[in-house]
């Protein structure tokens, strides 16, 4: 296994070379790879998440500031294919990847891995939900406290292909605290098969993009494809869902969201419109405007005729802001009615006017763009090599869509790892599989639980000493533990400190009988238990 990785690494580096243009193609001869997502790292390098056909694993590539490979890791699971996930880097330099794995080549389930700043595995979790047939993570974001919010798509094929959109809250140690569906048919009976694309955090609240099928109230049996958004408050309660352009009967999908100001957002994606004299619906880029209360404000389209007389399809898959008025969009467009059109970029404003555009020949698959630390743009996309293989490409451009050049100088990479990082394989076959996540509490249940301090007494009955185990103390302040006898007389009191998990009391001089222990926080009772002394 180590010999295999070493040989492949040499081939890959030799194939990429060191060009003055900031552009690289990643892939191995006679195999197919595909791009998933990219993350900008603390040392101005990049982490790419991709798939590698040979071992059907999640291929992680660390590059330098110029996109040249520094090292690579392959996350593999025996003979089960891993669908590449979203890479994130936390404040310690650790890398988290949220994707999915086909366990025993039968069912696909969400998987999340964490490796430390030296590339060593820390933990791995797979979440199996018995209420569904399969599920997978679509996106993830890192919260300020370094916990992870992961967006998942669930399907129950045996019930008419019923989809669900979930958020999973996972701690930095890999514990699943809660998960919750959004856009649920139980709450929204007219929705069908919601599907998610990405999750975003703006001003401490959260937004989901995707699509759904939605029925007219007067005809619930007839559903239409709609762009879909969901708004979620800071405590992860669903505020609203927005099946976009219902009254205008616009068929479409939402891919991404960008914030325009404190209260207004622009979603981007696809709408399907008739063009010319035919009845066919042609994909157009769709700009959708709504506010933080979920109210639709309007929309604009970028029609194919705006681009050229031979263009039959154009749609935006990702977008970021250039300045106060202009945006850079990663867009798929061309003369094909459906995909085989390549990707490229548009520079647009909110009206849908195109100021500049550039096509990238031989690109395919998925695309993601990020705004870099120097206000330029790195884009990852699938790429058809000259040998006919499916590889992927990383390139960097400026706001004028011109190819960036390399940065000369000496840069210090992976400084949080004193021992250095080598390429290699991380076997995650022994990943902890957590079954029955359908029983996981939702956010309301979880945070309600944090309002209390659960307390347990042992041994019970007791003779010489009694120990109290305490939970959630880190969530409270001014904590006091008090014990009372059967007549209500206080026989003991002590201060409990945040993060304290237990306390032991000598009871040899206490009378036999029943006692009650109460825990207060800021004067409010938050926990109690009973115990017996013999």
Higher pLDDT, 339 or 37: 37
In a domain, 501, yes or no: yes
Model confidence, pTM? 0.82
Predicted confidence at residue 493, as pLDDT, reads 96
Of 54 and 186, more confident: 186
Under the banding of pLDDT at 50, 70 and 90, the label for residue 319 is very high
Say if CB 421 and CB 119 are below 8 A apart.
yes
Backbone CA torsion sign across 90, 94, 98, 99: positive
Whole-number Å distance between alpha carbons of 470 and 499: 9
Question: CB of 507 within 8 A of CB of 460?
Answer: no
475 in a structural domain: yes
Contact assessment for residue 477 and residue 522, using Cβ atoms and an 8 Å cutoff: yes
Count structural domains, the chain: 1
Q: Is 259 helix (H, G, I), strand (E, B) or coil?
A: strand
Q: State the average pLDDT over residues 230-254.
A: 93
Quick check: is 142 in a domain? no
> Residue 160 — very low, low, confident or very high, per pLDDT cuts 50/70/90?
low
Distance between CA atoms of residues 193 and 211, nearest Å: 8
Mean pLDDT over 471-484 rounds to 92
In a domain, 445, yes or no: no
Q: What backbone torsions phi and psi does residue 12 show, to the nearest 5 degrees? A: -65, -45
pLDDT of residue 136: 96
> How high is the pLDDT of residue 79?
76
Check residue 276 and give its pLDDT: 60
**Whole-number pLDDT of residue 434:** 92
- Calculate mean pLDDT across residues 449-464: 90
CATH of the domain at 474: 2.60.40.2470
* Residue 14 pLDDT > 90: no
Q: How confident is the model over 271-301, as pLDDT tens digits? A: 998 766 556 788 999 999 999 999 999 999 9
Q: Is residue 492 part of a domain?
A: yes
DSSP summary character for residue 390? E
Of 476, 473, 467, whose CA–CA distance to 500 is shortest?
473
Please compute the mean of the pLDDT values over residues 375-398 and round it to a whole number. Answer: 93
pLDDT of 10 strictly over 60: no
Computed from CA positions of residues 441, 444, 450, 456, in that sequence, does the dihedral angle turn out positive or negative?
negative
Q: Are the C-beta atoms of residues 478 and 504 closer than 8 Å to each other?
A: no
Do you find a cis peptide bond into 459, omega within 30 degrees of 0?
A: yes
Residue 161: its pLDDT value, please?
Answer: 53
Q: Within a domain: residue 468?
A: yes
Run of H or E including 15? helix 2-16
In this predicted structure, the answer to whether residue 17 has a pLDDT above a threshold of 50 is: no
Query: How far, in Å, CA of 166 to CA of 208, rounded?
Result: 10
Q: The domain containing residue 503 runs over which residues?
A: 452-533
Q: How many CA atoms lie within 13 A of 388 on its CB side?
A: 1
pLDDT in tens, 423-452: 999 999 999 999 988 777 778 778 777 888
- Residue 248 near residue 231, CB atoms below 8 Å: no
Mean pLDDT of 241-265: 94
The whole-number average pLDDT for the span 80-91 is 93
Give the tens place of pLDDT for each residue, 121-140. 999 999 999 889 999 999 99
* The pLDDT of residue 165 is above 60: yes
Q: 48-52, 148-152, 245-249, 346-350 — which is least confidently predicted?
A: 245-249
The model's confidence at residue 13, banded by pLDDT at 50, 70 and 90, is very low
Q: Is 350 exposed, middle or buried (0-12, 13-18, 19+ CB in 10 A)?
A: middle
Contacts of residue 311, Cβ cutoff 8 Å, sequence gap at least 6:
304, 305, 333, 334, 335
pLDDT digits (tens, 9 = 90+) for 358-376: 999 999 999 999 999 999 9
Assigned domain for 184 exists: no
H or E segment at 89? strand 82-89
pLDDT average, residue stretch 60-73 = 96
Q: With 90 as the cut, is the pLDDT of residue 73 above it?
A: yes
Average pLDDT in the chain: 90
Q: Say whether pLDDT at 227 is over 90.
A: yes
d(CA 473, CA 451): 10
> Is 338 within a domain?
no
pLDDT in tens, 391-404: 999 999 999 999 99
> What is the C-alpha R_g of the chain?
27
Of all residues in the chain, the percent with pLDDT exceeding 90 is: 75
Helix (H) / strand (E) containing 532? strand 524-533
Residue 46 has pLDDT above 50, yes or no: yes
Give the residue, 243 or 248, on which the prediction is more confident: 243
Question: Is the separation of the CB atoms in 205 and 219 below 8 Å?
Answer: no
What's the average model confidence in pLDDT over 38-65?
93
Extended beta strands in 292-409, E state: 296-302, 313-321, 327-334, 343-348, 354-360, 363-371, 377-384, 390-397
pLDDT at 7: 31
């Amino acid at each position: 296994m180590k010999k295999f990785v070493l040989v492949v690494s040499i081939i890959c580096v030799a194939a990429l070379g060191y060009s003055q243009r900031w552009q690289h193609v990643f892939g191995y001869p006679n195999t197919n790879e595909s791009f998933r997502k990219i993350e900008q790292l603390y040392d101005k390098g990049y982490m790419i998440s991709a798939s590698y056909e040979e071992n059907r694993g999640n291929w992680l590539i660390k590059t330098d500031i110029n996109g040249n490979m520094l090292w690579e890791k392959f996350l593999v699971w025996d003979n089960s294919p891993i669908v590449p996930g979203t890479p994130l880097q936390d404040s310690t330099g650790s890398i988290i990847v949220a994707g999915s794995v086909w366990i025993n080549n039968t069912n696909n389930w969400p998987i999340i891995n964490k490796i430390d700043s030296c590339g060593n595995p820390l933990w791995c979790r797979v979440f199996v939900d018995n209420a569904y047939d399969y599920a997978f993570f679509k996106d993830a974001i890192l919260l300020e406290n370094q916990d992870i919010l992961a967006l998942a798509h669930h399907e129950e094929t045996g019930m008419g292909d019923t989809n669900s959109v979930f958020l999973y809250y996972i701690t930095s140690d890999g514990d699943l605290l809660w998960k919750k569906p959004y856009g649920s048919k139980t709450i929204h009976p007219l929705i069908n098969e919601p599907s998610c694309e990405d999750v975003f955090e703006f001003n401490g609240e959260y937004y989901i993009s995707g699509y759904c099928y939605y029925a007219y109230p007067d005809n619930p049996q007839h559903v239409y494809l709609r762009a879909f958004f969901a708004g979620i408050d800071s405590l992860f309660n669903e505020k609203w869902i927005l099946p976009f352009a219902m009254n205008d009967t616009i068929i479409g999908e939402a891919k991404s969201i960008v914030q325009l100001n404190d209260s207004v957002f622009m979603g981007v994606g696809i709408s399907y419109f008739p063009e010319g004299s035919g009845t066919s619906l042609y994909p157009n880029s769709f700009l959708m405007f709504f506010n933080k209360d979920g109210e639709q404000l309007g929309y604009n389209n970028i029609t194919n005729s705006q681009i050229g007389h031979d263009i039959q399809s154009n749609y935006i898959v990702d977008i970021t802001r250039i300045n106060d008025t202009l945006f850079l969009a990663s867009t798929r467009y061309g003369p094909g009615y459906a995909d085989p059109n390549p990707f490229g970029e548009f520079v647009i404003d909110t009206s849908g006017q195109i100021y500049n555009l550039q096509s990238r020949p031989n690109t395919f698959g998925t695309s993601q763009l990020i705004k870099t630390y120097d206000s330029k743009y790195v884009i990852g996309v699938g790429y058809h090599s000259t040998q006919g293989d499916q590889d992927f490409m990383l390139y960097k451009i400026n706001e004028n869509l011109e190819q960036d050049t390399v940065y000369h100088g000496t840069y210090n990479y992976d400084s949080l790892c004193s021992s250095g990082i080598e390429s290699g394989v991380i076997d995650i076959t022994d990943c902890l599989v957590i079954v029955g996540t359908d029983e996981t509490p939702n956010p309301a249940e979880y945070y309600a639980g944090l309002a209390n301090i659960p307390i347990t007494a042992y041994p019970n009955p007791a003779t010489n000493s009694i120990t109290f185990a305490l939970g959630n103390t880190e969530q409270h302040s001014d904590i006091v533990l008090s014990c009372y006898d059967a007549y209500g007389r206080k026989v003991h009191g002590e201060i409990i400190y945040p993060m304290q998990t237990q306390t032991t009391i000598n009871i040899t001089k206490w009378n036999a009988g029943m006692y009650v222990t109460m825990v207060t926080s800021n004067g409010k009772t938050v926990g109690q238990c009973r115990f017996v002394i013999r």
